Structures are given as structure tokens and as C-alpha cells.
Amino acid sequence: MSSAAPSYDPAVLARVQRLHLKARILTEALLQGDHRSRRVGQAIEFAGYHEYLPGHDLRHLDWRVWGRSDKLVVKTFETETELPVTVVLDLSADLATGAPAVTGLRRLKRLVTGEGTQPSASLPDLDKSKAGFALSLAATLLYYFYLRREPIGLELIAGEGRPIRSIPPRSGRGHLQALLLTLAQARPGGEARLHEALVAVGERSRRRSLVLVLSDGMEEPETWLPAVAAFGRRRTDLRFIHLYDRREWGLELDQAARLYSPETGEEIAVDPAAARTALREVATEYAEEVRRGVTSWGGLYVKGPINEGLEPLVRKVIRGAPASPGGDPFGGEAKG
């Protein structure tokens, strides 16, 4: 899964280069002034009790237990030397949207050329669509943890022709290249089916690992949020990066249109003037609903508007800064 095919499309290779470069530039900026241990998670952690047998290190005897129960038990410890990081990337067809606002000449051009009226069947633009943004973010995060010498893995949810693709965490430059190549080739498509995907990823993930889920979460939250619990039970550090386009949620259209979902084909005729306010209300409620769900199941919720650029988002993800309750998806974090 991780090895690259011998004959790659030059465009794909260029895309790998670009992803690599983008990730490296961003990551180096992030690492400036960072003096943390190069071994992330290097610590001794209590794992349980065992009956004392001759030969055990007496330093590990639990004298308190002996004092209370007259039994000799030794404490056992697990030593963490690495933190496997898995990036779970939702590449369902809806991620292909999220183009900048269409007005004036651009709209005229689109009417003439047909651009934007159908989701692109080619590789997503890394700077425009939600999918492109997600790919860039995934590459950056993988590169970041690669530099930290952590095993890194990739789980692709949906994506054209590939309902799910799993690359377990490993270390090594070659593995990074394989991951970047996978990202470079990925195209949005199909349905995410988040619940099934997250349950599967949760079962595959190691204990005490870091799982970064990059998704628009565009399925009814009550259907997939319970799957987050699977990570909590495995003591996995789950961070849910909620990707969305503020322009899209703001319904920045200048006239009525038939909006359709690339993922399901569902179509709804909308007068933006009539529905804009309602959509903003619904979007805010929905974001809060997802935040509350992720948090309640033990995860960390991070707002991921694609309109603010990668760097601040990567910082939030790495720092593990949770989104404040009641935050406005169209602005900054809520005060207080």
C-alpha cells in the first residue's frame, strides 16, 4: 500500500513535490523555537499489578498493598517511546465543492465555460476546494509528525474509486513519500459513511495513538458521532478537524439556483436571499452540535474553515486547542 508505483503521472509527481514543499515550509515555521524532546510521549506509565515472583525487581514492589493485604505484588509499567499518528481524511464527493464566491465576470466566465457548475473530475485544486485544503492540511500534519519521528499513517475515507484506504503508521522517509503520493493521487468522490469508516479506523488504531480526523461531517451527527467513542475506549487522542467553507455556508450566491449534492445527487432550488439567514442559523447550530458530540465522546473538536489558511489551523491541531462552546463558524471563537 505504501510503495509507489514505478510509473507515476508527472502531474502527480509534481503534486507530491508541491505537497511536500508546502508541508515543509509550513512545518518549519511551526517548529521554530520548539525545544521539546524529540521523542514524543517518552514516559513511564503504570500498566497494572502482578504477583511477585522471585527475580522481580524489589523496587517495583508495592509496599502499600503489602501493608494492607499482606500480599506481595509488583507494579508493572509501560514505557512509551513513540506516538503513532493517523490522519483520517474524508474525501467524499461533497469535499470537492467550496469554490470561492462567484460574482461578476467570474460568473459570466463560468456561464460560458461551464466551470464550477459540475465538480471537477480531475485532481482537486489544493488552494480552492475543501478537498484541496484537506489534502494540504493532511500533508502538512503528516510531515510535521514525520519530523517528530513519530510513526505516521493515513486513512482515506471515500474518494473516487476507493471507498476506504488504510496505510498504518510507520516511520521513515520512504513511508512519508508513499503517504504524500497517496494524497497527491486522491480525488474526492463517493459517500463518506462516517460511522462505518470511523469504527473501522478506531478498531485498527493502536492504543495510545493520535488520530486526526479531517472531515466536513456532512452526515447526520447522531449517525456517526457515537463512533468517536471507539477511540476514547482505546485511550486514543482523537482530534476532529471540522472542515467547511464559510462562503458555502454563507450561501454567497447572487441569484436563485438549484443546488445539488455531488455526493448524493440530491437537488434543492434555493433563493439565497430567502435562505441565507436560515442557513447561517442552521450551520451554527450544526457546528455546535458536532462540537458537543465529539467532546462528549472524549474527542477534541477543532473548527476548520478553509478560508483562514492552513497555518493557524495546523497550530490549533497540534496544540490541541479545543473550540470554545457556541463558537461562530463564520467568525472567531466565541468570547467567554
Which among 10, 306, 19, 24 is positioned nearest to 182, based on CA atoms? Answer: 19
Provide the minimum distance between the beta carbon of 171 and other proteins in the complex, in angstroms, as a whole number: 35
> Out of 41, 98, 124, 169, which residue is the one contacting other proteins (CB under 8 A)?
98
CA distances from 246 to 22, 130, 163, 268 (A): 23, 11, 27, 19
259 binds other proteins (CB under 8 A): yes
Contact 303, 283 (CB under 8 A): no
Cα–Cα distance, 127 to 330 (Å, whole number): 19
For residue 273, the minimal CB distance to other proteins (Å) is 6
CB distance 312 to 243 below 8 Å: no
Among 14, 269, 321, 334, which residue interacts with other proteins (rule: CB under 8 A)?
A: 269
- Asked whether position 150 contacts other proteins by CB under 8 A, the answer is no
Range list of H helices, the chain = 10-31, 63-69, 104-113, 130-147, 173-185, 194-204, 221-224, 229-233, 246-249, 272-296, 310-319
Those residues whose C-beta lies under 8 Å from the C-beta of residue 329, and which sit 6 or more positions away, are: 244, 246, 249, 283, 284, 287, 303, 305
Closest distance between other proteins and the C-beta of residue 247, in Å?
A: 11
Of 82, 150, 155, 219, which lies in the binding site for other proteins, with binding defined by CB under 8 A? 219
Q: Which stretch of DSSP H or E encloses residue 152?
A: strand 152-158
CB of 303 to other proteins, least distance (A): 15
- Exposure string over 4-26, b if 16+ CB within 10 A, otherwise e: beeeeeeeeeebbeebbebbbeb
Closest approach of Cβ 268 to other proteins, in Å? 5
Q: Is 224 in the site for other proteins (CB under 8 A)?
A: no
Binding marks (x or -) toward other proteins, 225..244, rule CB under 8 A?
Answer: -------------------x
The nearest distance, CB 258 to other proteins, in angstroms, is 5
**Quick check: 283 binds other proteins (CB under 8 A)?**
yes
Q: What is the DSSP letter of 93?
A: G
C-beta of 196: minimal distance to other proteins in Å? 17
Q: Which of 166, 257, 295, 324 binds other proteins (CB under 8 A)?
A: 257
Q: Which of 248, 153, 243 is nearest to 205 (CA)?
A: 153
Name the pairing type of β-strands 152-158 and 164-170: antiparallel
Please identify which residue in 156, 199, 253, 302 interacts with other proteins, judged by CB under 8 A.
253
286 binds other proteins (CB under 8 A): yes
Residue 245 binds other proteins, judged by CB under 8 A: yes
Which of 27, 86, 97, 205 contacts other proteins by CB under 8 A?
A: 97
Residue 273 binding other proteins, by CB under 8 A:
yes
| Closest approach of other proteins to the CB of residue 42, in Å | 41
Phi-psi label, residue 296: left if phi above 0, alpha if psi -120 to 50, beta otherwise = alpha
Count of H-run helices and E-run strands, the chain:
11, 10
User: Closest distance between other proteins and the C-beta of residue 286, in Å?
Assistant: 6
The reply to whether 101 sits near other proteins by the rule CB under 8 A is no
Please, are residues 325 and 264 in contact by the beta-carbon 8 Å criterion?
no
Work out whether 264 is an interface residue with other proteins (CB under 8 A): yes
Is the CB of 171 or the CB of 284 nearer to other proteins?
A: 284
The residues binding other proteins (CB under 8 A) are 94-98, 116-119, 130, 216, 218-220, 244-245, 248-249, 253, 255-264, 266-271, 273-275, 278-279, 281-283, 286
